[in-house]
Structure 1
Amino acid sequence: MEDSKMKILMTTDTVGGVWTYSLELCKALNKHDIEVHLAAMGAWPTAEQEKEASKMANIVLYKSDYKLEWMQDPWEDLEKAHKWIASIYQTIHPDVVHFNNYAQIENFWSCPIVTVYHSCVQTWWQAVKGTSAPSAWSRYTALVKDSLNTSDMVVSPTKAILEKAVGVHEVKSPTDVIHNGREMCFSKDVEKENFILCMGRIWDEAKNLRALSGIAKNLPWPVYIAGNNVNPNTGTEVDIENVHFVGELSSEEVKEMMQRASIFASPTKYEPFGLAILEAAKAGCALALSDIDTLNELWSSSASFFDPENPEDTQKKILQLIEDKEYREAMAKNAQSQSEAYNLQKMGSEYAALYKRLIVSRKTDINQLTPSL
């Protein structure tokens, strides 16, 4: 890689959707001749993840298993992670640091800092529990607030979740909304089948899949859940009538199921963006989604919305998609059309333009502070 390229130091994690977001963004930034030094935390990357990263010429991958700030008792690891990130920074001298987490808040960075607000425990707790997180999360909450407010720019994938972040964390930094993008190719020769696909862990309160499983026995189509049915905390196995658990799937296996599914359902209570929903829309699924502000912002008239707290409404909206083929196919077409707005070219161009603006602004500020000779 040439020294003339813009260099970004970017953090990511290997345990959630941030990994997919990060790789997609790196792919998009490659077209802008931007080199990304990608520092992965949370858990050691899997062989599949390392293979994904190795395919991209503009990525230098740094691996660790340092805990993320939302994990149990992370503080010692966060200190180690901070030193690790700082050493990478001092070695590569990036033009911008792009954080996808909230743990590095020191003020020694000489380049602009972008922090992407994907989610946080406080907004999760409010959406899922209806109240603020308990005092045990106070230290974490202070960390998130400090991180956001020591950034040159806070970016979020939807306006709705950004407004919540600004309110909860009293964000004073400049903000911007850049929608996530996803590039996927699906075969047009795969026939849609009569089943409903969901993704997530059945015990995850935010995903709220139990709301859908509660009505599954009343649906004429089977419900398939891409996720494990064994609670890792208790070892309890969940068995629900008309619900088929297919376990943790690889990205290719998820893609194959989305191509076959006629309906993708998400009864989630908390979803800042929803990459799986975007993938399903690109696969030509009709979308049945929770009536929450972030999903309304993204999908508007391109999905059938239901009240996730109301089983009768949920069942009614899904049955309408099942029983009315013309309506279902029209909604699938609408969702697929809307999904085209969330593409890599747009995401990459907006991030590249943001980085450049911040670099120019930082240089201008330095020049104004430098006395004339």
Structure 2
Amino acid sequence: MEGKGMKILMTTDTVGGVWVYSLELCKALQEYDVEVHLAAMGAWPSEAQKQQVETIKNVTLYKSDFKLEWMEDPWEDVEKSNKWINSIYHTIYPDVVHMNNYAHIGEDWTCPTLTVFHSCVQTWWQAVKGTSAPTNWDRYTQVVKESLEASDIVVSPTQSILGKAKNTHDFSSPAKVIYNGRAMDASEEKEKEPFILCIGRIWDEAKNLKLLSHIAKNLPWPVYIAGTRINPGSGEKSEFENVKFLGKLEPHEVEEWMQRASIFVSPTKYEPFGLAILEAAKSGCALILSELDTLKEIWEDSAAFFDPENEADAQERILQLINNEAARKELSERARNKAKEYSSEKMASEYMDLYREIINNKSKPKLATV
């Protein structure tokens, strides 16, 4: 195979969508006989997460509970995790380092390094608060910029978030967009039921789930929210009214709920890509999404959009689909077809092309910036 013998050191975290992205990519890279050494941080992997990795034959998992750079008072852990990742590097000597977080690029590494800009606190703060993050985030912001500058190339899941990353961090490294993907294997089609589903970190202000809590009492269908209530940074628990709270679900449970749900709503104020939305589309849910540049870039006319600051607008869009079965089915079919454009196979193919390119160009001048 074209990737035979390639060895990748990849970082990931266990507390968000980066975990799902990482495993999807690792699974798809099996087609190329790529060996992935996956260094996980943020929290110890759960038993379910460890079992997920065990099914992916090309992956060696390295476990830790080191705090991530965006967590509260993380810097002692960041220093320890730097040494930990560096020791993995000097044990396996990878062909490529694929970073899914910031702060860990070694000064003496000789292989090319790719950093994926999934998100950051500054772009989050700008989207959610309408201003830059306060000065207590200055050290974090400097670490992000240094990580992006130290990379041979920066990858982003949408053109829109890449533009925000460049404007915010003013990095000079070349950059490329590779859309995230999910496996497009045929799932069992179930009869859709009259309820609304939403998935997200309940504690994350950007997810804007209180909007659904506020309007749920005015909707004829029940609203279900899946996701953890506990903020991993502070340990605080979020409270909501008027919705049915499902808690943190395992992947097979998420799939079952999505196969049953007629409508999937995402009221988020900040979403660089949205893997949960992609999964919902793949499961045939009609999508009602926040009118964000990133989401419009991905879904175009395959979703209904609303202003995430306007509860009345969100309620009107949801009621329109609840009350119009034909429109709901048409939007469901559009979403399912659009989801096929974002497969894990396509994602892996584009990453493989990029891995080869940066390996070949490591000793040459930097690639032209996109």
TM-score range, shorter chain: over 0.9
Tell whether the 8 Å contact from 1:103 to 1:143 is kept in structure 2 after alignment. Answer: yes
CA distance in 2 between counterparts of 1:78 and 1:44 reads 15
Gaps of 5+ in 1: 367-373
Alignment partner, residue 241 of structure 2: 239
| Deviations 1:229-252 (CA, angstroms, capped at 9, x unpaired) | 678855564332xx2112211111
CA pair 236-105 structure 1, distance change in 2 beyond 3 A: closer
Taking the TM superposition and a 5 Å limit, the aligned residue runs for 1:116-127 are 116-127=116-127
- Deviation of the 1:185 alpha carbon: 4.3
Question: In the alignment, which residue of structure 1 is the partner of 2:13?
Answer: 13
Aligned to 1:299: 299
User: Aligned equivalents of 1:11 and 1:203: distance in 2?
Assistant: 24
Question: Which is greater in Rg?
Answer: 1
Q: Which moved more, 1:119-128 or 1:227-236?
A: 227-236
Match of 2:42 in 1: 42
Post-superposition shift, 1:141?
Answer: 0.2
TM-superposed CA distance for 1:364, in Å, is 4.7
CA contact (8 A) 1:184 1:279 kept: no
Q: 1:235 to 1:153 in 2, by over 3 A?
A: closer
Deviations 1:154-206 (A, max 9, x none): 00100100100011000110000000010154544410000000112444210
Tell me if structure 2 keeps the 8 A contact 1:105–1:147: yes
Contact 2:11 2:99 in 1 (8 A): yes
Quick one: which amino acid aligns to residue 268 of structure 1? T
Please state how far the C-alpha of 1:89 moved relative to its aligned partner.
0.8
- Over 3 Å counting, the alpha-carbon distance change for 1:106 and 1:155 in structure 2 is same
Cα distance in structure 1, aligned partners of 2:229 and 2:23: 28
CA distance in structure 1 between the aligned counterparts of 2:152 and 2:12, rounded to whole angstroms: 19
- TM-score, normalised to structure 1, is 0.93
Distance 2:349 2:359 in 1: 15
Equivalent residue, structure 1, for 2:283: 283
Aligned partner of 2:145 in structure 1 is: 145
Alignment partner, residue 370 of structure 1: none
The alignment status of 1:195 with 2:195, answered yes or no, reads: yes
Q: Which residue of 1 aligns with 2:356?
A: 356
8 Å CA contact retained: 2:213, 2:240: no
- 1:154 touches 1:175 (CA, 8 Å); kept in 2? yes
Q: Is the 8 A contact 2:210 2:240 kept in 1?
A: no
Superposition RMSD in Å: 1.8
Cα distance in structure 1, aligned partners of 2:58 and 2:236: 42
| Alignment partner of 1:159 is 2:159 | yes
**TM-score, normalization by structure 2:** 0.94
Q: Percent identity at matched positions?
A: 62
SS of match in other structure, 1:60 = strand
Distance 2:229 2:88 in 1: 40
Cα 1:316–1:84 change in 2 (3 A) is: same
Aligned with 1:320: secondary structure? helix
